[in-house]
Amino acid sequence: MESSTPVIVAIDGPSGTGKSSTSKAVAAQLGLSYLDTGAQYRAITWWMVTNGIDTADPSAIAAAAGKPEIVSGTDPEYPAITVDGFDVAGPIREQDVTSRVSAVSAVPEVRARITELQRTIAASAVTGIVVEGRDIGTTVLPDADLKIFLTASPEARAARRSGELKGTDLHATREALVKRDAADSSRKTSPLAKADDAVEVDTTDLSLHQVIECVVTLVEEKRAGR
């Protein structure tokens, strides 16, 4: 595959494995577009919270799933995201959204809406795209050119997440990650899972630079082999 030929890369895995940092860096290094699918689920969750939708009521969530207009930027250097024209890149990372996103994401109508949006964005990426999430290789883009599943020990993931969120308790962070893993892995619609043909990369003992280099190499090998 020539470097100018589009390549679709799916990167899945739980929180704290380095998905976002790795995906953005790989996309920037290889001149690819980038899509943070988790941000889209956070964005629709933010809309639900802001508009008073009961996030403990799946039927209420389902009824409102088609209302917000979500626009995702695909520049790895500045991955913008707006809801109804409002920049939500900051608000979607706040705790009130983080604590509710798994419940909202589990609703089939929400997943159908966001999955359709993700597929449209991936199909329109002229240079190719790195798409990161939890069900990209299994559900959203099952025909992706390359699928990668990042893993790491709960302890390593909690340490990284605590480093990102200054002042958070390490034990509480680990418990929250484990709880979210259980919720995301057990949901009926598009659970967090490794695709059968995905390459697993354990990032526990790797630096971010090493993970990025590993993934870049995998992409370049895929390009060269096509």
CA 208 to chain centre: 17
Give the predicted TM-score (pTM) of the model: 0.88
pLDDT digits (tens, 9 = 90+) for 67-120: 999 999 999 999 999 999 999 999 999 999 999 998 999 999 999 999 999 999
Containing 154, the helix (H) or strand (E) segment is helix 154-164
What are the residue ranges in the chain where pLDDT is below 50?
1-2
Residue 2's pLDDT is what?
Answer: 46
Residue 14 and residue 177: Cα distance in Å, rounded? 8
Residue 168's pLDDT is what?
Answer: 67
Buried b (16+ CB within 10 A) or exposed e, 129-166: bbbbbbbbbbbbbeebbbbbbbbbebebbbebbbeeee
User: Token pair 């798994």 is at which residue?
Assistant: 102
Residue 117's pLDDT is what?
Answer: 97
Amino acid at 199: V
Residue 1's pLDDT is what?
Answer: 42
Ordered by where they begin, the domains of the chain are 8-216 (3.40.50.300)
Residue 189's pLDDT is what?
Answer: 77
User: Token pair 């979210």 is at which residue?
Assistant: 180
User: Token pair 């409002």 is at which residue?
Assistant: 86
Residue 115's pLDDT is what?
Answer: 97
